[in-house]
Chain A
């Protein structure tokens, strides 16, 4: 199998605080993980590509100082939303590829972030 988990599945935080979302590959090693953001009734937009042991590559328009990504091990990547604002409320989904040459991405169940 290829299972990816996310924690938490749902989080509410106050404006100005930070929140960390974890993405784990449970039964495989993931050299590369991706973070996507999805607004209601819309498609997934790639935020950043995370490679184990190196800095994440952010897509144009994504603030790297606001969305901190860490990929410290082959099974864990974290996304920290710093100084959250209501407009950061969204559904955040991670995905992972197996090994160095994996083609298929395996998606986590997503994290619903609500900033009040």
Chain B
């Protein structure tokens, strides 16, 4: 069975600092990996996804993530954060080649950006 571990429940940073949100997954088969952002009282917005190909994935709002198969990780990074990046971030996994499978989410990481 697949599982997702987000190693940090809260990450406080100052504006314009770099940030990394860590995500590790567990799966015995190939997976697709996703990062979503959730603002208060809203649904989820896709930041980026890894399906295949290049292990460095660039997403919206200046975020990027790197798929590391040997370390089963998919850490999210941004070189310089803004106040507006304050939100909840979820890492998720689904089984490759199974279109009907649902996403398994990590517990989330709260990113708090202060000035």
Contact = CB atoms under 8 A, between A and B. Distances in A.
Contacts of B43: 4, 6, 93, 107-110
Contacts of A97: 99-100
Interface residues of A, number: 26
Contacts of B99: 32, 97, 100-103
A7 interface: no
Nearest to B108: A43
Interface string A39-59: 000111110010100000000
Contact of A112 (B41, B51, B94, B100): B41
A107 B36 CA distance: 10
A102 B94 CA distance: 12
Interface in A14-71: 32, 34, 42-46, 49, 51
B100 A32 contact: yes
Given A43-B107, A49-B102, A51-B100, A104 B46 contact: yes
A80 interface: no
A101 B97 CA distance: 9
A109 B44 CA distance: 7
Interface of A: 4, 6, 32, 34, 42-46, 49, 51, 91, 93, 95, 97, 100-105, 107-110, 112
Given A34-B103, A49-B100, A107-B45, 4 more contacts: A42-B107, A101-B99, A105-B102, A110-B41
